[in-house]
Structure 1
């Protein structure tokens, strides 16, 4: 009788674990789901210091491989003052593309020191590679035209707790982000 109770309890625990896993997995769609991934909005606004003043954005932070892979895929629209910040473990050459992304985007490539290294435009549904040509640690994606409307350009400073400084973790000593790197990302 005791053996049967343990067996029943074990089966019930396994069913609960499987059900909980299915629920949580279904709540975080990936790029394979053909649904937009929506991450929590960070409570601290990201600020870009431009020559015309500070520009503030609410952001979602993609800082894991699955989150960076899904990004803004399948997202149909977002507010003009909203974006997604991609955070990489270390400064490196990165490549983006817009496959499965229906809205045009500005991609703002940011170095370890928080300075904008490049501003590129992404065409919807394109497989063309978008790269800054220099190692970066962060990429901010905004609605197309947002960078130009807000005067965001090379050299502007990005401030947010997720954006470190040149002496912070994740930067190789010889990698200051000023010279092109032929490595992949």
Structure 2
């Protein structure tokens, strides 16, 4: 029995880090450089993972401990709707922009790690862009600015 307990403990110690690291790679999302045109006339770029399928959108940045500056995730929806996001199992603080079908940013909100409180768009939108918290402010991106959509 002692050998079994030792083996079980050893297996957990060896394989646990592998399983935890695999959680961050649940989906193989494409990455695109997204251009944002500010009202000041500047172009700002973000490298965004594209979440188009329902299961990709539902998982989002869950369990990601590090999201580098200048990167994010663009959530693409099939139709315009009021969107609601939360931070379940998301340890990294994020900011979210809700974007209408023309690419205009309608709202920007900061979100609290692990919070289950819904963060809703104030009107129907087609896209949401999550980035490290404060990135929109640091880059001068505001409500009314436009995402260049292909």
- Give the alignment's Cα RMSD to 1 decimal: 1.9
The C-alpha deviation readout for 1:84-120, integer Å capped at 9, x for no partner, is 0000000101110001000000101000110000001
Gaps of 5+ in 1: 1-28, 162-185
Kindly state the Cα deviation for residue 38 of structure 1 after the two structures are TM-superposed: 5.0
The C-alpha deviation readout for 1:117-161, integer Å capped at 9, x for no partner, is 000111000001001211110000000010100111111010132
Asked if 1:98 corresponds to 2:102, the answer is: no
Matches within 5 A, 1:3-152: 35-36=23-24, 37=26, 39-42=28-31, 44-52=32-40, 53-152=42-141
Which of 1 and 2 has greater Rg? 1
Asked if 1:153 corresponds to 2:142, the answer is: yes
Secondary structure of the residue aligned to 1:149 is helix
Kindly state the Cα deviation for residue 79 of structure 1 after the two structures are TM-superposed: 1.5
C-alpha distance in 2 between matches for 1:58 and 1:71: 15
C-alpha distance in 2 between matches for 1:128 and 1:60: 24
Q: Please identify runs of 4+ aligned residues in structure 1 that moved more than 6 A.
A: none
Count of paired positions:
129
C-alpha distance in 1 between matches for 2:86 and 2:67: 18
Q: State TM-score, norm by structure 2.
A: 0.80
User: Is the CA contact (8 Å cut-off) linking 2:39 and 2:144 kept in structure 1?
Assistant: no
Secondary structure of the residue aligned to 1:138 is strand
Secondary structure of the residue aligned to 1:45 is strand
User: Is the CA contact (8 Å cut-off) linking 1:97 and 1:126 kept in structure 2?
Assistant: yes
